[in-house]
Amino acid sequence: MACPFGIPRCAACLGRRCHANHRNLAAFRSLAQGVVMTTGAERRLMLVAVGLATAAGCASYSAELRAGKRGEREGGLATYYSPRLAGHKTANGERYDPKQFTAAHPVIPFGTHVQVTRTDGTNRAVIVRVNDRCKGGKKIIDVSESAARQLDMLRVGIVPVELEVVAPPP
């Protein structure tokens, strides 16, 4: 059975009734263009490829950084939380408070204290406690509004930084 876009089986649906649970068909259309999965073997091959890509992305963090070892460093870009998220639960169960010096990082353990230093010439720095998770890649950390104010990044929104673990988790 073909979906409304003429694709026999969509990758996102993996052959189930197409679009039954999709609310945003425009976004799904861009995802589904050109993707046809007709056999179980192709489906398994796609899942293996996605798994390998995910594992490769996770492997970029050192074991020492994952453990929150004191002195470990990482460089990348920092952004800050929207004030509209105040009161929402973070990944460790706390409520986000824009007045606290907290941050989100993809792998550093919760409770680890990290020094965030701007590397674009201002050399402003702040120490934050990791209590949430964010996506990795070029953006390595999301800081709270208070930390962003200390780093003077409220206008810019995204700045190059270097992280250094200053206190391991309790």
Query: What pLDDT tens digit does each residue of the chain (170 aa) get?
Result: 455 545 455 555 544 444 444 434 444 444 444 444 445 555 555 545 444 444 444 447 888 888 888 999 999 999 998 888 999 999 999 999 999 999 999 999 999 999 999 999 888 999 999 999 998 888 999 999 999 999 999 999 999 999 999 998 88
Q: What number does CATH give the domain 63-167?
A: 2.40.40.10
Torsion of CA 138, 139, 140, 141, to 10 degrees: 170
Six token digits for residue 162: 């270097």
Q: Is the pTM of this model over 0.75?
A: no
Going from the C-alpha of 155 to that of each of 20, 76, 136, the distances in angstroms are: 42, 19, 23
Report domain extents, the chain.
1-59, 63-167
* Burial category of 66 from C-beta neighbours within 10 Å (exposed 0-12, middle 13-18, buried 19 and up): middle
Report long-range pairs for 63-71 (Cβ below 8 Å, ≥24 apart): 65/107, 65/108, 65/165, 66/107, 66/108, 66/109, 67/109, 67/168, 68/108, 68/109, 68/112, 68/165, 68/168, 68/169, 69/165, 69/168, 70/165, 70/166, 70/167, 70/168, 71/164, 71/165
CA atoms within 13 A of residue 92's CA, in its CB half-sphere: 18
Q: In whole angstroms, give the CA distance from residue 110 to residue 27.
A: 34
Asked if residues 147 and 83 have their Cβ atoms less than 8 Å apart, the reply is no
